[in-house]
Amino acid sequence: MLPLAGTGHINLLVMPKSKRTARSQTNRSFNKVFRDPVHDLIRLGPEDEFILRLIDTKEFQRLRRIKQLGIGYFVYPGAEHTRFAHSLGVFNFARRMIERLQGQCDVQTRRELASNTPVIKAAALLHDIGHGPFSHVFERAFDRDEHGAHQGLDHEGWTSRMILDSSTEVHQVLAESGIDANSVAVLITDKPPAGLEPPVDPYLKDIVHSQLDADRMDYLLRDSLMTGSRFGQFDAEWILNVLAIGELPSGKGRIRKLCLDASKGIGAIESMLLARLNMTKYVYGHKTTRAYEAELLSLLHLASELVSILPDETPIPVRNFLEKRGDVEIKDYLLLDDEVMWWAIRRWAVWKPALKPDHQALADVLSRHSLRLVRRQRPWRTHRLRTSQELRQAARLVEELRGSQDDRLRFEWHLDTMSTWPYKEPARRVRRGEDPEQAYFEDIHVVKDGGAVPIQEAEESGILNALAEPWAEHRFHFDPKYFAEFTGHLRMLGIS
């Protein structure tokens, strides 16, 4: 397993030979190739036979039915790619990062990388198996606090849960391959699962989860390619070429972190960080995409309220998820994907029940929103909140609408705040006064004069300084059917 904090020594990832099964032995004749639009050829060699077994699990195959950008293809018709393809790409980037580091590090680090390579590869491949239907939209459906922040399990939480649960196929394949599931789980998320600690040396985790990880490198290039935009393009090959491992001091002594060569890598990482910001602004945060997502979220909230009277044709996994507001067992969660959800929405779109007046009105709203999404009709109107004062006033309006007895407007709006966006600017913890050591480790570091330093200290860069500035985008979405009502509310609150 990975070296855990506080152990003071290195533990080997691979189990003793006596505990391995016959299946975990390397098949020297094994070879597998995947064609990929980003990486061209993704090769699995004899040492990667366990990777193909992980790919064949039901948890991973489910990702074929979950689109990478959710309903982003409403706006970008080419964005039909899946979490399955992305996860293969992340595995490939992680493999290449390991190969690069092994070629230029010291003997001890090379040995550690060799012993930990299977767990890093497994974590890279499995990092997204916890995504629900419509990707990030689904984890925004329930369990939000008053600021819109997630309180329940996000996709990383579901991923860790699947990896650690002995009933899942991925857990069983890891065990049969001599790979410790705990070591895989701690690499995937900011907050390790309860009772587990991250590796002492961050470089082992940085390959899978950091500001310089294989995940970001793949999704930026893949999403840019498949949407037809150019915002996400950067020189990934050069970043791979200038990867290094640097040492920096910590409260536990000197630790090693994934870095870049300061003399060669500044321009490449500037390009990558700028690509991420632009993709967030103009692709992931496209106002039309977010408006469609707003209507979808309102639809899910309404369906949850009407779950006891939804049509019988509503798939049982969907009904179960709505009834329990997302708090379901792993076996039930795995039955959810884009196809199942669209089946439910298409059924709701033609639902014409005869109900009591109070339920009838809401059922009609559910049917109307479902039909609008199925037909990709004109998206909800979007009002941009330009100042903190406008955001506070919009929050007031939200409270009024939630407490209103008028059912007409209850499910016709959505407040889209920055807390629900996946983007976080570099070095944000420093400005927020959070744990300074954690902030220090989170920064991108470069190797300069024999030591590792935060990239901002290595070279004065106007681009890096600008990217480190806080950036926010807040919007109020509403159904154009009630344009007069909502614009009137906004004007009364001083929001023009």
Q: Which is more confidently placed, 55 or 151?
A: 55
Burial of 458 (0-12, 13-18, 19+ CB in 10 A): buried
Residue 269 has pLDDT above 70, yes or no: yes
When the pLDDT of each residue in the chain is averaged and rounded to a whole number, the result is 86
Neighbour count for residue 234 (Cβ, 10 Å): 23
Percent of the chain with pLDDT over 70: 87
CA distances from 139 to 87, 150, 209 (A): 19, 8, 19
Residue found under tokens 């300069």: 448
Residue pLDDT, tens place only, 71-83: 999 999 999 999 9
Let me know: does 259 contact 105? Beta carbons within 8 Å.
Answer: no
Kindly state the tokens that stand for 372. Answer: 């609008």
Instruction: Determine which of 61-75, 157-171, 409-423 has the lowest per-residue pLDDT on average.
Output: 409-423
Q: What whole-number distance in Å separates Cα of residue 56 and Cα of residue 86?
A: 16
Residue 427 has pLDDT above 90, yes or no: no
Let me know: does 479 contact 387? Beta carbons within 8 Å.
Answer: no
> Which candidate, 296, 134, 272, 146, places its Cα nearest to that of 216?
272
Rg (CA), the chain: 24
Q: What is the pLDDT of residue 424?
A: 64
Q: What is the pLDDT of residue 242?
A: 95
Domain 287-421+473-492 coded CATH 3.40.50.1950:
no
Type of residue at 363:
A
Instruction: Determine which of 68-82, 310-324, 386-400 has the lowest per-residue pLDDT on average.
Output: 386-400
> Which candidate, 214, 218, 251, 250, places its Cα nearest to that of 232?
218
Residue 144, SS3? strand
Count of alpha carbons within 13 angstroms of residue 44, beta-carbon side: 24
Q: What is the pLDDT of residue 153?
A: 72
Residue 373 has pLDDT above 70, yes or no: yes
17-228: what fold? Hypothetical protein af1432 (1.10.3210)
Q: What whole-number distance in Å separates Cα of residue 358 and Cα of residue 6?
A: 59
Residue 21 has pLDDT above 60, yes or no: no
Q: What whole-number distance in Å separates Cα of residue 272 and Cα of residue 283?
A: 15
Residue pLDDT, tens place only, 178-236: 999 999 999 998 777 777 887 778 899 999 999 899 999 999 999 999 999 999 999 99
Type of residue at 125:
L
What residues does each domain of the chain span? 17-228, 287-421+473-492
Neighbour count for residue 101 (Cβ, 10 Å): 19
Residue pLDDT, tens place only, 445-469: 889 887 888 887 777 677 777 777 7
Q: What is the pLDDT of residue 454?
A: 84
Residue 103, SS3? coil
Residue 15 has pLDDT above 50, yes or no: no
Residue 330 has pLDDT above 50, yes or no: yes
Q: What is the pLDDT of residue 412?
A: 93
Q: What is the pLDDT of residue 209?
A: 92
Q: What whole-number distance in Å separates Cα of residue 292 and Cα of residue 363?
A: 20
Q: What is the pLDDT of residue 4?
A: 43
What does pTM read for this prediction?
0.90
Q: What is the pLDDT of residue 183?
A: 94
Residue 365 has pLDDT above 50, yes or no: yes
> Which candidate, 195, 207, 247, places its Cα nearest to that of 6?
195
Q: What is the pLDDT of residue 255?
A: 85
Q: What is the pLDDT of residue 460?
A: 67
Burial of 443 (0-12, 13-18, 19+ CB in 10 A): buried
Kindly state the tokens that stand for 23. Answer: 């299946």
Kindly state the tokens that stand for 24. Answer: 């975990």
Residue pLDDT, tens place only, 51-72: 999 999 999 999 999 999 999 9
Residue 379 has pLDDT above 70, yes or no: yes
pLDDT, average across residues 104-108? 87
- Helix 169-176 crosses helix 155-164 at what angle (to 10 degrees)? 50
pLDDT, average across residues 343-360? 91
- Helix 287-305 crosses helix 338-349 at what angle (to 10 degrees)? 70
Q: What is the pLDDT of residue 467?
A: 77
Q: What is the pLDDT of residue 146?
A: 47
Residue 407 has pLDDT above 80, yes or no: no
Contacts 24+ apart (CB under 8 A), 355-359: 355/309, 358/407, 359/306, 359/309
Q: Which is more confidently placed, 92 or 17?
A: 92
Q: What whole-number distance in Å separates Cα of residue 34 and Cα of residue 392?
A: 50
pLDDT tier for residue 152 given thresholds of 50, 70 and 90: low
Residue 19 has pLDDT above 70, yes or no: no
Kindly state the tokens that stand for 468. Answer: 């480190």
Percent of the chain with pLDDT over 90: 59
- Helix 357-374 crosses helix 287-305 at what angle (to 10 degrees)? 150
pLDDT tier for residue 410 given thresholds of 50, 70 and 90: confident
DSSP conformation class of 26 = -
Please list, residue by residue across 1-39, b when 16 or more beta carbons sit within 10 angstroms of its beta carbon and e when fewer do: bbbbeeeeebebbbbeeeeeeeebeeeeeeeeebebebb
Q: What is the pLDDT of residue 433?
A: 47
